[in-house]
A and B are shown apart, each in its own frame.
Chain A
Amino acid sequence: MFDRENKGGVNFNEFTGVWKYITDWQNVFRTYDRDNSGMIDKNELKQALTGFGYRLSDQFYDTLIRKFDRQGRGQVAFDDFIQCCVVLQRLTDVFRRYDTDQDGWIQVSYEQYLCMVFSIV
């Protein structure tokens, strides 16, 4: 994300961007980790994302936890939380670009769909 030149690493200037980014997210995480467990459970995740403005189904939160819960505890650790939010944000951004009438639906060809996903992973 911060490696603007695809070097496979960040230089000092790019690193300061990383640092700020992480501390910002840490603050967000702390806000929603209500029980201070260091982990975010499904309900806390729901609150966090709803707070950001997402309106997602309960089923989808199950999907998120399954996907980002790398420790297999049914909860999401800080770094996984960041990843979850970043991925969600990027997917949403790209979806929005194709959803020209903003009705929550897109009509895409196979290649458009591939381009959408490959542009963010």
Chain B
Amino acid sequence: MGDPGGGEGCPHGEPPAVLPPHSQQCSASGPAARSVSSRHAVPFYGADLWAEQPRSPLPIPIPTTPLGSEHHPDPNSRHHPLPGAIPHPSGAPQGVDPEAFSWFQAVDADRSGYISVKELKQALLNSNWSAFNDETCLLMINMFDRSRSGRMDVYGFSALLRFIQQWKNLFQQYDRDQSGSISFSELQQAFSQMGYNLSPQFSQLLLSRYAQRSSNPSIQLDRFIHICMQLQSLTEAFREKDTGMVGNVRLGYEDFLTMVMTRML
């Protein structure tokens, strides 16, 4: 992609001189970040998740190729769910877990062979029986939708369920008191075990952003998944820029925009 942020001369793009409409909207502050900049004597911004043995199972890698695309069912097979057709009643398509298949059929209320964000919401539940939030459902659809149509077929759904189950296992592991949600200390522990070296202020920031307001804010499964995936993705992006592995980068305005936008899940 071009200059890794260390180049001289004018950066690509300029922030606007005149603020766009609604610029007086409040945005969350980031003062906590400044205080931790010199926290680490050795510039070390996260364990080498790939270089050394992880202490606990690695976070689930974000699929880079659309899942389900590797399955190319024989069009002559009676198990092939043609778009728009009602899935074959007697068995799951090849490569699809039977339980996932029956679940899919239950969720695909209009029998279209695809499920939408709305239908997906009905399928995914947190431990307190609340539905997965819209953001996470949209994220899931985008990741597992190979057709970019904003909906998911049975293969994508099956892969999604496996993916969520892996995350759920991790979540339950980190939810030490089995409360069904992850508290501040549990979140800190989770990050540490995943190999991240992040300050308590950072965990605090996440909780204030993602947890529901209560005396003891904690994070449900859906947001936990979302957070971890964002963290992974953003860390990858940062590493691409920080080729010297110093834990610090110089970013131009447009660089920054591109980094975040292309990676934002």
Say whether B36 faces chain A, with CB atoms less than 8 Å apart: yes
Across the interface, do B261 and A87 meet the contact criterion of CB distance under 8 Å? yes
Across the interface, do A63 and B248 meet the contact criterion of CB distance under 8 Å? no
Across the interface, do A121 and B18 meet the contact criterion of CB distance under 8 Å? no
Across the interface, do B33 and A111 meet the contact criterion of CB distance under 8 Å? yes
B249 partner, pick from A87, A97, A113, A114, beta carbons under 8 A:
A113
A-B contact count (CB 8 A): 167
Say whether B65 faces chain A, with CB atoms less than 8 Å apart: no
Which residue in chain B gives the minimum CB-CB distance to A120? B27
Q: How far is the CB of A103 from chain B (nearest CB, A)?
A: 8
Q: How far is the CB of B254 from chain A (nearest CB, A)?
A: 6
Interface residues on B, range: 35 or more
Across the interface, do B262 and A63 meet the contact criterion of CB distance under 8 Å? yes
Given contacts A8-B133, A106-B251, A109-B247, contact A90 B33 (CB under 8 A): no
Q: How far is the CB of B212 from chain A (nearest CB, A)?
A: 6
Across the interface, do B234 and A117 meet the contact criterion of CB distance under 8 Å? yes
- Bound-state Cα–Cα, A113 to B99, Å: 41
Given contacts A89-B20, A105-B250, contact A111 B202 (CB under 8 A): yes
Pull 30 A–B residue pairs with CB atoms less than 8 Å apart, ordered by A. A52-B16, A52-B18, A52-B21, A53-B18, A54-B14, A55-B16, A56-B13, A60-B254, A63-B261, A72-B149, A95-B256, A95-B257, A104-B14, A105-B11, A105-B253, A106-B256, A109-B37, A110-B46, A110-B238, A111-B33, A111-B37, A111-B39, A112-B30, A112-B37, A113-B249, A114-B234, A114-B235, A115-B205, A118-B202, A119-B29
Which B residues are within 8 Å of any A CB, using their own CB? 10-23, 25, 27-30, 32-34, 36-37, 39, 43, 45-46, 133, 148-150, 198-199, 202, 205-206, 209, 211-213, 230-231, 234-235, 238, 242, 247-254, 256-258, 260-262, 264
Q: A53-B20, A107-B251 are in contact. List 15 more A-B contacts (CB 8 A).
A: A24-B21, A52-B18, A54-B14, A56-B12, A56-B13, A64-B261, A89-B23, A90-B27, A104-B14, A105-B251, A108-B251, A109-B45, A118-B209, A119-B27, A120-B28
